[in-house]
Copies of this chain bind each other. A is one copy, B any other.
Amino acid sequence: MSELHGNFSQNLKNIGTVGRSLSTWLLLLVPLSAAIGALCAVFLWLLDWATQSRFHYPNILYLLPVGGAAVAWIYARFGGTSDAGNNLIVDEIHTPSAGVPLRMAPLVFFGTIITHLFGGSAGREGTAVQLGGSLASTAGKYLHLSNAQTRLLLMAGVAAGFGAVFGTPLAGAIFALEVLAVGRLDYAGLLPCLLASLIADWTCHSLGAHHTLYHISYVPPASAPLFQHPLLLAKAALSGVAFGLVALIFAEANHKFGALMKRLVPFSPLRAAIGGCAVIALVWIFQTRAYLGLGVWSAIPGDPTISGFFAPSTDYWSWALKLLFTVVTLSTGFKGGEVTPLFFIGAALGHALAGLLNAPTDLFAGLGFVAVFAAAANTPIACTLMGIELFGAANAVPITIACWVAYTCSGHHGIYLSQRIATPKH
Contact (Cβ within 8 A) A4 B186: no
Contact (Cβ within 8 A) B190 A205: no
Query: Is A248 among interface residues, defined by CB-CB distance under 8 A?
Result: yes
Q: Which residues of B contact A299 (CB under 8 A)?
A: none
Q: Which residues of B contact A226 (CB under 8 A)?
A: 167, 169, 389
A169-200: contact bitstring with B at CB < 8 Å (1 yes, 0 no)?
11001100000000111111011001000100
Contact (Cβ within 8 A) A241 B15: yes
Query: Is A288 among interface residues, defined by CB-CB distance under 8 A?
Result: no
16 example contacts (A-B, Cβ-Cβ < 8 A) are as follows A1-B256, A3-B256, A8-B248, A11-B252, A170-B397, A183-B187, A184-B184, A186-B423, A187-B425, A190-B380, A190-B404, A190-B408, A201-B227, A389-B393, A392-B392, A393-B393
Query: Is A66 among interface residues, defined by CB-CB distance under 8 A?
Result: no
Q: Which residues of B contact A408 (CB under 8 A)?
A: 18, 190-191
A interface, by DSSP: helix, strand, loop or mixed?
helix
Query: Is A249 among interface residues, defined by CB-CB distance under 8 A?
Result: yes
Q: Which residues of B contact A1 (CB under 8 A)?
A: 256-257, 260
New A-B contacts (17) at CB < 8 Å, excluding given A18-B409, A169-B226, A381-B381: A1-B260, A4-B257, A8-B252, A183-B188, A184-B187, A187-B380, A190-B404, A190-B407, A191-B408, A198-B233, A198-B397, A201-B227, A202-B230, A389-B393, A389-B396, A393-B393, A393-B396
Contact (Cβ within 8 A) A426 B388: no
A252 CA to B5 CA, complexed, in Å = 9
Interchain nearest-CB distance for A41 vs B (Å)? 13
A265 CA to B248 CA, complexed, in Å = 61
Which A residues between 368 and 426 are near B, CB-CB below 8 angstroms? Answer: 380-381, 384-385, 388-389, 392-393, 396-397, 400-401, 404-405, 407-409, 411, 422-423, 425-426
Contact (Cβ within 8 A) B423 A191: no
Interchain nearest-CB distance for A250 vs B (Å)? 11
Which A residues between 266 and 304 are near B, CB-CB below 8 angstroms? Answer: none
The one of B174, B227, B405 in contact with A169, judged by C-beta atoms closer than 8 angstroms, is B227
Contact (Cβ within 8 A) B194 A400: yes
Query: Is A253 among interface residues, defined by CB-CB distance under 8 A?
Result: yes
Contact (Cβ within 8 A) B15 A409: yes
A213 CA to B222 CA, complexed, in Å = 12
A401 CA to B199 CA, complexed, in Å = 13
A422 CA to B8 CA, complexed, in Å = 22
Contact (Cβ within 8 A) A404 B253: no
The one of B4, B245, B404 in contact with A256, judged by C-beta atoms closer than 8 angstroms, is B4
Q: Which residues of B contact A202 (CB under 8 A)?
A: 227, 230
- With an 8 Å Cβ cutoff, the count of chain A residues facing the other chain is 68
Q: Which 6 A-B pairs have the closest CB atoms?
A: A393-B393, A4-B256, A185-B185, A183-B187, A11-B411, A392-B393
Query: Is A7 among interface residues, defined by CB-CB distance under 8 A?
Result: yes
Q: Which residues of B contact A201 (CB under 8 A)?
A: 227
Contact (Cβ within 8 A) A404 B227: no
Which A residues between 217 and 238 are near B, CB-CB below 8 angstroms? Answer: 224-227, 230, 233
Given contacts A4-B252, A187-B423, whether A170 and B260 have CB atoms under 8 Å apart is no
The one of B184, B190, B396, B405 in contact with A388, judged by C-beta atoms closer than 8 angstroms, is B396
Interchain nearest-CB distance for A10 vs B (Å)? 9
Q: Which residues of B contact A173 (CB under 8 A)?
A: 400
A18 CA to B381 CA, complexed, in Å = 21
